[in-house]
Every structure is written in structure tokens, then in C-alpha cells.
Amino acid sequence: MTLPTRAIGPFRVSAIGLGCMNLSHAYGVPPSEEEGAKLLNRAIDLGVTFLDTAALYGFGANERLLGKAVMHRRSEFTLASKCVLDVIDGKRGLDGSPTAIARTLDAALERLGTDHIDLYYLHRLDKKVPIEDSVGALVRAKEAGKIGAIGLSEMSADTIRRAQAVHPIAAVQTEYSPVVRNAEVAVLDTCREVGIGFVAFSPVARGLLAGAVHDADYAEGDIRRNMPRFVEPNLSHNLNAVAAFDALAEELGATPAQLALAWVLARGDHIVPIPGTRSIAHLEENVAAAGITLTPAALDRIDAIFAGGAIRGARYTAAMQAQIDTETLPGEELEPA
């Protein structure tokens, strides 16, 4: 199958990619390796040509999964992974030094079973290391043929411009959905102006816009257990807006996830959403959203549903927010440090 394509840096990729994180990480007990492999191969069969992983996901397990499951189909997709966030002394850690970046990249190549990653991101900004030094490490990796293009994740417009001054940036990845609009402060416009592709992770708002969140009864190990907008007292309030969104999706003949993805796609031709899922049925549902075109009136109604204080609670915990460089929205509620 073929899907519409969009440009991300030097690459033409399917208009909807696949975020691979939750096959190994962050949402409770992951599926088996066999189930993950089936989903990855089904995605490629459906025309998905953009797969996104990271060293952090499953502490290397996600990269190993891709290495075993789909590297025999390497010519069929653009591979993206990330460094800086990694396992340090057995725990999640942040290290943007050139030495750490080189070490993470070499380990990633081994886990993936390849000698080249198409798009390699700095997963977060290490504020102890000048962005110029971190980008410089990736420039050297590109010159060595280990990566094809450089990306940034969860970084501000100012940081993007500093990085761009060192070497052209192919993509910026940030959370973006009808619920999470931080990229609209400055990052989306900066990417459009400079010619950088924008990759939207969590485009269905960590399941909130996919019919997957009804209460705060999350599995052990699910990161939403600690995210302020996904727990009480905020969740019940937020689900009121979600109910209105779900009703609009039904009226328009789409699922909520499809409506969210169509909204993201409509925000700009330089945007590619990368929803993640563990369900092949949901994967097929997500991919079908590439064929949905929303009217200006429908887009306005979605914006109206989530206007003002429709969503309460911080996007991240204080500890997680400390590693985020992306701009906050005016009046955005942040958890105290």
C-alpha cells in the first residue's frame, strides 16, 4: 500500500508515521516481542515509511526489537532514533556531551543491527552542555556516515536557531495535538520559516483523544499515573472536553483518533504525526486518517472545544518538565518544583 507523503528534511515519508515507544516502554507491561514484530511489519505493509525509536525506550529494548523485526526491510522505511536521554548507571539519565552522544549512537547501531540511522535526534536539551557542542557531535557522526540527518526533540525556537547555525536541522519533534499546543508559541513558525520538518509525537494525546482514557486506573508503570492532567482532580474536568470531541468525531463519521490525526495534518504540510499503538486494529484506524480532509468549520469547532481552560493540569511532572526546553503557553499551569 502507499500513503500520501510529506517531506522531513531530505526524506519523503508517509504522512503518518509510527512512534514505536509504547511497544517497549512507558505504558505498563509491553506486548511480547512477537506481537511487537507483527505490528511493525503490518505498519510497513500499510505504507508507513517512518519509524521512530530511541535509546531510552525500554532501555534499549525498542531498538533491539526493530533490529530483529524489520531490519530485513530496511529499504522500505526511514529510521529515526534519539540520544542524550539514555540509561546511566542503570537509571534514566540526561547527558548531551559529545562523548556520551557517540557512545549512545554506537550502542544504538549495534542494537538496531545497522550501520546507519537516517534521522538522529537530540532527545532533550542537556542544559549543562552548549547545544552547539551536542549538535557538533552529530555533525561528526554524519561525516562518519553513521547518521543521515540531525533532529531535535522538545526544544525551543531559540535553541533551534542556535542549532541551525551549526548545521542544518532536518526535523524538530515535539508533542502536538488538539490538546497540547505548545509548539504554536514559536516552534511551528520557526520550523516553517527555516524549512525544518515538524514531527508531532503523542498526536492523540497519550490516548486521551483515542477513547483510551476513562478514569485514572492505569496499569503499574504507566507514565500517565503521574501526569497531572491525567489524574484527579484534573482528569474528570478534562474528560468533559474529550466527550465533546468524541461527539464531534461521531458526527463527522470518524473515530476520535482519526479526527485528532486529521487535525494535526491540517496544521501544516511540514507536519508528520507519529502515533503509537500496540493494536493492529488501531494502527489501521490511524493510517486511514491520512485520507481525511477536515473543513475549516470542523477545525474551528475542534479549537473551540479545547479553548480556554478546557484542559487542566500540567503536561509533565516537575522533574520531567525540568528536561523540556519547549516554550510554555501563556498562563500554562506548571507543577511546583
**Interatomic CA distance for residues 48 and 54, integer angstroms:** 18
Tell me whether residue 57 is one of the annotated catalytic residues: yes
Q: Which residues contact 307 (CB under 8 A, 6 or more apart)?
A: none
| DSSP designation for 219 | P
For residue 332, give the amino acid letter: E
User: Of these residues, 57, 120, 176, 218, which one is catalytic?
Assistant: 57
Show Cβ contacts of residue 83 under 8 Å, excluding neighbours closer than 6 positions. Answer: 54, 55, 100, 101, 104, 105, 108, 120, 121, 122, 123
Whether residue 187 contacts residue 152, with contact meaning beta carbons closer than 8 Å, is answered with no
> Are the C-beta atoms of 5 and 22 separated by less than 8 Å?
no
- DSSP letter for 313, please: S
The DSSP 8-state label assigned to residue 289 in this structure reads G
Please list the active-site residues. 57
